[in-house]
Amino acid sequence: MASHPHSGDPVFDLHVGGKMETVSTVALTGPDELSLAYTPGVARVCEAIAADPSMTRHYTWVPNTVAIVTDGTAVLGLGDIGPAAAMPVMEGKSVLFKQFGGVDAVPICLDTTDVEEIIETVVRLAPSFGGINLEDISAPRCFEIEARLKERLDIPVFHDDQHGTAVVALAALTNALRLTGRDAATVRVVVQGAGAAGVAVARILLEAGVRDVAVLDRKGVLHSSRSDLTEVKAALARDTADRTGRSGSLADVMAGADVYIGVSGGQVPEEVVASMADDAIIFGLANPTPEVHPDLAHKYARVVATGRSDFPNQINNVLAFPGIFRGAFDVHASAITEGMKVAAATALAELVVDDLREDLVIPSPFDTRVPGAVREAVAAAARADGVARA
């Protein structure tokens, strides 16, 4: 291997030259193949697509290819590091799409943080792709970008930091409720963090029948008597704490709560953790430092999950996004619906029901059953929700 500035470091050695390449699916060994793959043969396919654009799904790679779009403003736990520094993560995401979903992906790192410019750029790129995976775009801009792209495009648009996290968290929570004998309709949930992941987690819990959710940002519980809420937070407040009358600080709503889901990066004092209900469920999802360290969580909780790979019950988005796009692409879905997300979560949860225990409420990313189970559930939900086109 040629030397490079960090030669000898296995992480940098692995990244030399990037983590992906484009590979031809056809042989070009002589003039006959060349005339079929390129001119003159290719012109016939172009004319067929010009006459009927739906032919794209049969004769190009477009319907199996997703654009992974970022502006580099919220990359992993690194924050706003810019589009160039985001590329290794987007390459990694592309490899995960291929490995776990058989989906081709192209990383696209945009040199703008302007909402209008991002939207217009993605709309103009859209004919080249079967779906758009928004990635590592900071809140609250990510909410408007996703919502407006969904309005303008007839292909799936999915912000993985929101919905991938939400799907896997719901799957794990479904099984944690099973283990602890709780019911979604009566369980009390606290979600700390009202960024992209926190909002999506709260929304999918409501979709799944949870009625008592308190969502907190740095200033406390989201409720409508606060005058400092963004439009997204205000809408969430109306659907969560306003319905139950909850308000105040984290300590106020954690007392007696059944479930804590942390997507904030903050730290929860031990006395607050200790105030939760018996047989509590604690998901501290911040990386690399969970809001509640598993050692502390286990003192008070029956089921503990993190975002880390070195503890049981990892809430890992790779369990969701490859299969979700694969299922959506299989039926040429025009969108990814709430029903498709819940179906993905249900499929994930069902995979470990027979082996369910405190340290196994969610399958491993390397469980070979995962992509197929999510794919089938999402495709079926797309048909049920009326967004399938094949």
Catalytic, 233? Answer no
Q: Check if the beta carbon of residue 263 is closer than 8 Å to that of residue 198.
A: yes
Specify the DSSP class assigned to residue 386: T
Do 281 and 259 touch, CB atoms closer than 8 A?
yes
Q: Is 38 a catalytic residue?
A: yes
Are the beta carbons of 66 and 130 closer than 8 angstroms? Answer: yes
Strand order in the sheet with 65-70: 104-109, 65-70, 131-134, 157-159
Q: Which residues lie closer than 8 Å to 331 by C-beta, 6 or more apart?
A: 379, 382, 383, 388, 389, 390
Report phi then psi at 385, rounded to 5.
-90, 0
19, 38, 260, 299: which one is catalytic? 38
Q: What are phi and psi of 140, to 5 degrees?
A: -90, 0
The per-residue b/e assignment along 118-138, b for 16 or more CB within 10 angstroms, e otherwise, is: bbebbeeebeebbbbbbbbbb
When computed from its CA atoms, the radius of gyration of the chain, rounded to whole angstroms, is 22
From the candidates 93, 150, 233, 341, which is the catalytic residue?
A: 93
Residue 253: Cβ-neighbour burial (10 angstroms; 0-12, 13-18, 19+)? buried
Residues marked as catalytic: 38, 93
